């Protein structure tokens, strides 16, 4: 080997030594101390002392190389001494099914999630409450004229219990929106009259339907709010107008003014998850008949959902029903008929309430 080549190699060795010394000075701290020693002919691997433990970063990275990204994140936090579980037993990061996650579950007393009841069909009492809720809204002079659908699966959420929580938060946000709008000057007064149904479809997956009353003048404002509120709830980015719109949308909102017939059509659509075997007695013949035939429905399987499948707002609840009876008199919302076509889907409840309010204004 020529002297020039030896000189070049010696310069390279000195340069490496200066870089290693500089790294050692930068990593010299109370918690992490890097010990790097390089001697001619000996290649030493850097070691570190982290929270009192001596580790080899290269060995640690090799050990976790074949784990999933979720397990690698948990393993890295565990290696660095971070607390993966808080004092209440709640995990700070989502756990997977890998070896590190199993180790965390075996090491810490984790808080067990509450068991949520599941629902497979819409029962007869739920169908009765849904029908009475729409009829009560009509008697009070309001048409449930806004149909909102939110697909949680399309939005990237797949946990049934988590979707149950998101559904409740969105419904509470709707109630707050109605309250905030009415506080604005010049806005009409209207109750938060709404019903909802959860379903599992082949295209939309697990989704929620909402049928509620929104004044016609506020429909566009509500639709814009519904899109923003859902994106915020699901932590979705704002849609890019340059990208082509997807065929499956997370939020779909439509309104139909004061069309009372369309309101009942949407209700029949929402009740398609009715129990096909649900039956009720006939008053005159004392025989039982299928509710689906009596109500003019075609039941179909809508999957299993966590929590109740149907719900309604307090404005259409039991207490509101009693107040309506005290004002308008006892009115039979649920007709026990003679044949299959006795359940009405028309404007008779709307006309009944309007006529009664006109009679109240007449002074004799």
pLDDT of residue 243: 67
pLDDT of residue 12: 54
pLDDT of residue 39: 41
Q: What is the pLDDT of residues 250-273, one digit of tens each?
A: 999 999 988 999 999 999 999 999
pLDDT of residue 192: 95
pLDDT of residue 285: 59
Q: What is the pLDDT of residues 199-208, one digit of tens each?
A: 999 889 999 9
pLDDT of residue 122: 94
Nearest to 144 by CA among 210, 230, 207: 210
Low-confidence residues in the chain, pLDDT < 50: 4-9, 22-23, 25-48, 50-51, 53, 55, 58-60, 337-340
pLDDT of residue 149: 96
- Residue 149 · residue 205 · CB < 8 Å: no
């Amino acid at each position: 080997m020529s002297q020039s080549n030896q000189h070049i190699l010696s310069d390279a060795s000195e340069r490496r030594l200066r870089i290693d010394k500089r790294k050692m000075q930068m990593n010299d701290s109370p918690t992490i101390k890097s010990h790097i020693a390089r001697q001619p002919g000996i290649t030493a691997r850097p070691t570190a002392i982290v929270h009192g433990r001596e580790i080899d970063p290269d060995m640690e990275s090799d050990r976790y190389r074949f784990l999933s990204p979720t397990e690698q994140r948990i393993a890295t936090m565990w290696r660095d001494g971070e607390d993966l579980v808080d004092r209440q037993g709640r995990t700070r990061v989502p756990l997977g099914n890998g070896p590190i996650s199993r180790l965390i579950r075996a090491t810490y007393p984790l808080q067990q999630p509450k068991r949520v009841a599941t629902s497979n069909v819409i029962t007869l009492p739920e169908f009765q409450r849904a029908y009475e809720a729409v009829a009560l809204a009509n008697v009070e002079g309001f048409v449930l004229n806004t149909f909102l659908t939110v697909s949680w699966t399309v939005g990237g959420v797949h946990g049934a219990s988590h979707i149950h929580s998101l559904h409740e938060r969105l419904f509470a946000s709707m109630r707050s929106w109605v309250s905030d709008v009415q506080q604005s000057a010049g806005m009409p007064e209207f109750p938060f009259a709404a019903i909802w149904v959860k379903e599992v479809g082949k295209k939309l997956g697990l989704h929620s339907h909402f049928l509620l009353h929104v004044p016609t003048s506020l429909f566009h404002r509500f639709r814009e709010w519904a899109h923003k509120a859902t994106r915020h709830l699901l932590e979705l980015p704002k849609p890019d107008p340059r990208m082509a719109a997807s065929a499956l949308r997370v939020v779909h909102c439509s309104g139909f003014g004061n069309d009372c017939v369309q309101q009942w059509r949407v209700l029949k659509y929402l009740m398609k998850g009715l129990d096909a075997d649900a039956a009720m007695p006939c008053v005159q013949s004392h025989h039982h008949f299928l509710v689906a035939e009596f109500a003019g429905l075609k039941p179909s399987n809508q999957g299993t959902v966590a929590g109740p499948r149907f719900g309604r707002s307090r404005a259409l609840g039991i207490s509101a029903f009693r107040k309506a009876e005290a004002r308008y008199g006892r009115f039979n919302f649920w007709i026990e008929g003679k044949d299959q076509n006795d359940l009405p889907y028309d404007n008779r409840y709307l006309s009944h309430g309007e006529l009664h309010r006109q009679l109240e204004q007449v002074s004799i």
